[in-house]
Structures are given as structure tokens and as C-alpha cells.
Amino acid sequence: MRILFLTSRLPFPPDRGDRLRAFNIIKHLSANGHEIHLASFVSGPKEREIAGSLRTYCKSLTLVARSALSSWLSCARRVPGGTPLQAAYYESPGMARAVRDKLAAGDFDLVYVHLFRMAQYVPARTRCYKLIDFTDVISREVERSLPYRRGLNRLVYSAELPRIRAYETSLAGAFDECWVVSQAEADALREMSGSADVRVIPNGVDLERFKPLDVRPSNIVTFVGHLGVPHNVDAVLHFYDDIFRAVRRERPDCRFCVIGPALHPSLKRLKRDRQVIVMGFVEDLNASLNRSSVFVAPLRYCAGLQNKVLEAMAAGVPVVATPCVNEGLGAKDDEEIALASEPWEFAARVVTLMEDAPLQRYISANGRKFVEKNFAWRLATDRIAEIAAERRRAG
């Protein structure tokens, strides 16, 4: 199939959730013989330079510059209306022209829209099959986040919530097919949109890159994630302020390792604690995970799949997580994952896993098997193959 693939961020390097999903779908579709034509925003010369790495998988690259100033001006213009600011931020006459020209010049079979912010560039009457990959139902995450936001931030997101919900509902009905990463997200989108065709296409994990190495110490607890996004910042502070103290009472030797790019200013105070290791991007994440006795995912609000949790499970590290994290996973408590809601309960489960070696091995082995069975990128390529076959049969 000839596929026009639209992304709001350059899907390279695949170092965070949205880039990871877009890059791997492009990579695997290309490997299966599909012709990919990528149209993406770039933020500057550096991104234009690294975009060349995508030529291995893409027949053509259309890169449109986007400045922060123009994006914020677009948001300001949209404040009085009903467009979500997350969509307004990505408004661009340049991208609109580029997509219009590509659709006019190319006989595409399918247009793939990655995240709802790029849906504005797909004409309602385009002849090709229209697929929108919501990934997560963003309105669901925003609603859950409101109790943890403060001041102006809470005011803005309270106003944004109904806009996002209405936008997601409208788009779900306007596209031929909608993708989300978990059954929980699918249920939420179906409830909002009624008759929309919603498919669960989970993320995959590189099982060769993430694997057990048999080097599990007994005193390191690890969190991994992009440290500039609100739900991860809240999770790290929640663990440090409300849980880690109780863990240290039982295990005075315990160390908390925080790994991820874009350290938020509110997290810098953790560097003053000698029992906290704050790291940025690490080249060999699998090795860092394997130096951990427990991986923690203490997110108080989230949506979709947490990729780093899947990677930790694939690496054979037992995971302690909140129930909202497991909504996207569907892992079995006490078998494939350890779940806890309250801080005292979370701390107790961490300590138990640190001290109970047989339980640690049991959950580690089951977690790895769970990922092997349920999370593979072939599910995306299989569905695209089905669409191709359906279109051939239809004439």
C-alpha cells in the first residue's frame, strides 16, 4: 500500500512514547513492503539533519518547520473558540499545503494520522482510507489529572477538557478506523463515539534489546520516563515524598534511581539526597534496568500504555505499579505485576520484592512471558495487511 503518514513530531530518534510508536510502525510497515511517505513537523536544523535516518524506511520525507512562537500565537487565536489548544498548537498553513499537495499528486491507499493533533490536515472527502491513531484517549488522562494540578495550570486544563472530549468524539466518527493502545482506551472511546470503528493496537517491545541479564542487586529501585511530562513528574515526587521514606525505614540501604531526559526543575531537589541517583538519557537502558531489584510506576494519573513498564517487564525486573498503570496492561496482580494504591501499601510491596528472592524471580519470569505473549509490533502490520486485502476485494 502507498501510505501517507502524518506526525506532529519527527519520529526519530525513538526515545519517548509517541516517537517510539510512530517509528516502529513505520519501520515494520516498510519491512512488510508498504511504501511510506512521511509528512512531519520539525523544530529546527538539527531535526532536519537527523531526519535522514528515516530514508531507510520512507519513500519520501516532507518536513515542515514549526516555531514555538507561531504555535503559541495559534493557541491565542483559538482561545475564544472550541478547538482544543493541543490541536491549535499544531496549526500550520505550511503543513496544510504540504498535505494537500501530497494527496493531489499521489495515489495513496491510506492516510495514517498519528495523534489527534494532525487530524486537521486530512480532508473530509479524501478518497483514501483514513486511519487515526489516537494512541490514548487524551480527555481521559486530562480528567484524571485535574485533582493533581494547581492554579492556572488546573484552570487551563479544566477549560481544555470539554474541548478535547468533543474533538475526540467528532474525529472518531469522521475517520474510517481508530486505533488505541489498550482495551481500557477502546472502551472509553466507544462510549464517547458510539458507532466508530475502534481497534486495539498495542505497542510492541524489542525483546532482543530488553532481556534479563542475571545481575539483580538488592538495593536499587528504578523509575524510567520522560521527566518533563506532568504525569511522570508527579509520579517521581509522589514516590520520593510519600513512599520512599517508608521503604528506607525497612531498607536503609535502598537507593532510588530516576532515569529519563528533560529533568523538570521541581525534580532537581532530589539530587541533594545521596540515596537518589538522577540520570538523564542512558545509552544502555537494559543494563540499567537489570541493575535494579524493583521497577516502580507510581503514577497517580495516566492513560494508555506505559512503554517503560513493558520494557522493565521484558528485562525481567519485577514491577510495582498503581492500578491506573495496569488498566492499559491487563497484567495479573501477584503473578505478572504487583499493584498498590496507597503509599504505605506501595512501600510494603517494594520492600517485599526486595527481600523475597523467590517472589521476585516468580513475578520477573511471569512478567517477561506476559510481554512476549501480548505486545508485538506485528499487530499493527497485520491490521494494515487486512485493510489492504479488504480494499482489494472491494474493487
State mean pLDDT over 133-155: 96
State mean pLDDT over 9-29: 94
pLDDT > 90? residue 21: yes
What distance in Å separates the CA atoms of residue 381 and residue 183, rounded to the nearest whole number?
A: 19
Q: What number of helices (H) and strands (E) belong to the chain? A: 16, 13
Tell whether omega for the bond before 323 is within 30 degrees of 0, i.e. cis.
no
Distance of CA 347 to the CA centre of its chain: 26
State mean pLDDT over 117-144: 96
What's residue 252's pLDDT? 97
Contacts of 356 (CB under 8 A, 6+ apart): none
Distance of CA 229 to the CA centre of its chain: 11
Strand-pair category, 110-114 with 129-135 = parallel
**Comparing 197 with 125, which gets the higher pLDDT?**
197
Helix (H, G, I), strand (E, B) or coil at 336: coil
pLDDT > 70? residue 152: yes
Q: Where are the beta strands (DSSP E) in 164-204?
A: 177-180, 198-200
Sheet holding 177-180, edge to edge: 60-65, 35-42, 2-7, 110-114, 129-135, 177-180, 198-200
Poorest-pLDDT segment among 260-264, 368-372, 390-394:
390-394
Cell of 273: 539526597
pLDDT > 80? residue 79: yes
What's residue 106's pLDDT? 80
| Cβ(72)–Cβ(92) below 8 Å | no
Cell of 75: 493557541
Q: Where are the beta strands (DSSP E) in the chain?
A: 2-7, 35-42, 60-65, 110-114, 129-135, 177-180, 198-200, 220-224, 255-259, 276-279, 294-297, 319-321, 338-339
| Cβ(121)–Cβ(4) below 8 Å | no
Cell of 292: 535494579
Tell me the pTM: 0.94
Q: Mean pLDDT in the chain? A: 95
Long-range contacts formed by 245-251: CB under 8 A, 24+ apart: 246/343, 246/344, 246/347, 246/348, 247/221, 247/347, 247/350, 247/351, 248/275, 250/347, 250/351, 251/219, 251/351, 251/354, 251/355
| Cβ(142)–Cβ(163) below 8 Å | no
What's residue 216's pLDDT? 66
Cell of 170: 467528532
Q: Which of 349, 304, 344 is nearest to 324 (CA)?
A: 304
Q: Which of 211, 294, 226 is nearest to 259 (CA)?
A: 226
| DSSP per-residue codes, 35-98 | EEEEEEEE-SHHHHHHGGGGGGT-SEEEEEE--HHHHHHHHHHHTTSSS-HHHHTT--HHHHHH
What's residue 122's pLDDT? 97
* Amino acid at position 57, single letter: Y
What's residue 125's pLDDT? 86
Bridge partners (DSSP) of residue 62 are 39
Domains annotated on the chain, with CATH: 2-204+376-394 (3.40.50.2000), 220-374 (3.40.50.2000)
What's residue 360's pLDDT? 94
pLDDT > 80? residue 355: yes
pLDDT tens-digit map of 201-243: 999 999 999 999 987 667 999 999 999 999 999 999 999 999 9
Question: Where do we find the cell 503559541?
Answer: 72
pLDDT tens-digit map of 270-279: 999 999 999 9
What's residue 217's pLDDT? 66
